Amino acid sequence: MDFERVLRDQTIVVTGDRIAAVAPDGAAALPEGTPTIDAGGAYVTPGLIDMHVHIRRRELRGYVYAGITSVRNMWGYQALPSTMRAIEDGTLLGPTIYSASPGLDASPGVWPETQFVDDPSQAESVVAAQVAAGWRFLKVYNSLSLESYDAIVDSARAHGIRFLGHVSNQVPIEHALDSGQASIEHLRGYDFALQRNPGGAAAWADIDMSRLPALAAHTAAAGTWNCPTIAVFDVLLRSVDPTTRERAIANRAAVIRDLHQAGARLLAGTDSGIDLAVPGASIHVELGGLVAAGLTPYEAIRAATSGGAEFLEEEAEIGTIAPGRRADLLLIDGNPLEDVDALRSIRTVILRGSWIALDGSRTPLLPRVPERTVSPRDLSRPR
């Protein structure tokens, strides 16, 4: 996933939790007695990264079983670091978690542990507290005043932490772009700019297309990434009439296509963990939606592998298959560069160097490839 290619007849050597070597078959130096697995014509890809989730302990395995080996958690909370440590030390089976802070918003807030910035003077202390807590990003949310948003931006810059999330309903999308917001979730902000009657998922059925090219160009120039969360909108739009649903999906796809064609970067995230999109399996809906919006399979998969790693500033760890990278790998049937749905046909997941079996047990290597190691969820095409 460094560029579009297939390396055929390769041997991947894993030592501990790292990829030690990638070489043509027969060319890798293997110590005597090294256990080997004949993958039997399967394809190996990097583990997937879901770039927008809300982690709950009971759902951790679902991500791994669907091929997700890393996630960006988009609302931090006090109990999360203990979960992250348990995953890292092997007592919990789950993807590696990179987390934003709890959301920064105006009162009264809608989610637990919201950090309130009702006045610009509060921004510095709130931002400093999130930095001290060790969160990787600041998440900004829906109801911040323009003045509070700007104060958060100033404090984030002073502390050297990136800010991302929603675009507040009081902040123009152009202002968020010019302020350096690292990523925008759900196309939030574009909705207020483009929808003729803003108001929820169905409002995407009627947008002003004439504004789209300028916004796409502005986004690309600003360097802001977008995480459209197609999967959760697929769920939200199931309750509307078929004509409205079709128009809304088509219009959101047009925004994604124009952003991509303008050179703006995209991430693959599902908004799982809020009882809408299914944790894990929804990444395949997301990837299919990106392809339907005009990305090639390679470009869509990149949004969930090397592109996600680039955004996380973890290119040396994840997202590609190369010596020194963490051994997060998928063994699948079929070439996903020809059909992204091949990623649904997972033979097994290798997570941090361990082979993950159906019951969640982990072994460094197995002598053969089980016929169907990982499939506790129905990963077939949605009906």
Looking at the DSSP assignment, which residues form a beta bridge with residue 19? 14
Through-space distance between the first and last CA atoms of the chain, rounded to whole angstroms:
30
At 290 the three-state DSSP class reads helix
Q: b vs e for 51-61, b when ≥16 Cβ sit within 10 Å of the residue's Cβ? A: bbbbbeeebbb
Provide, rounded to the nearest whole percent, the portion of the chain with pLDDT above 70. Answer: 93
**Tokens found for residue 106:** 């105006």
**Phi/psi of residue 67, nearest 5 degrees:** 95, 10
**Tokens found for residue 254:** 């047009």
**pLDDT of the residue at 75:** 98
Which stretches of 16-59 are assigned E, i.e. beta strand?
A: 18-24, 43-46, 48-53
The amino acid occupying position 308 is G
**Tokens found for residue 288:** 């299919």
Q: Domain 47-318, what fold?
A: TIM Barrel (3.20.20)
**pLDDT of the residue at 92:** 95
Model pLDDT for residues 27-52, shown as the tens digit of each residue: 988 888 888 888 888 999 999 999 99
In what side-by-side order are the strands of the sheet with 354-356? 43-46, 329-332, 346-351, 354-356, 362-363
Model pLDDT for residues 88-127, shown as the tens digit of each residue: 999 999 999 999 999 999 999 999 999 999 999 999 999 9
My answer on whether omega of the bond before 95 falls inside 30° of 0, hence cis, is no
**pLDDT of the residue at 209:** 97
Output the DSSP codes for 244-281: HHHHHHHHHHHHHHHHHHHT--B-----BSSSSSPTTT
Listed in sequence order, the residues at least 6 apart from 226 whose beta carbon sits closer than 8 Å to its beta carbon are 183, 184, 187, 219, 256, 259, 264, 265, 266, 267
pLDDT in tens, the chain (383 residues): 999 999 999 999 999 999 999 999 989 888 888 888 888 889 999 999 999 999 999 999 999 999 999 999 999 999 999 999 999 999 999 999 999 999 999 999 999 999 999 999 999 999 999 999 999 999 999 999 999 999 999 999 999 999 999 999 999 999 999 999 999 999 999 999 999 999 999 999 999 999 999 999 999 999 999 999 999 999 999 999 999 999 999 999 999 999 999 999 999 999 999 999 999 999 999 999 999 999 999 999 999 999 999 999 999 999 999 999 999 999 999 999 999 999 999 999 999 999 997 666 666 544 333 333 333 333 332 22
Listed in sequence order, the residues at least 6 apart from 207 whose beta carbon sits closer than 8 Å to its beta carbon are 194, 195, 196, 251, 255
Q: Where are the domains of the chain?
A: 47-318
Q: What is the pTM of this model?
A: 0.93
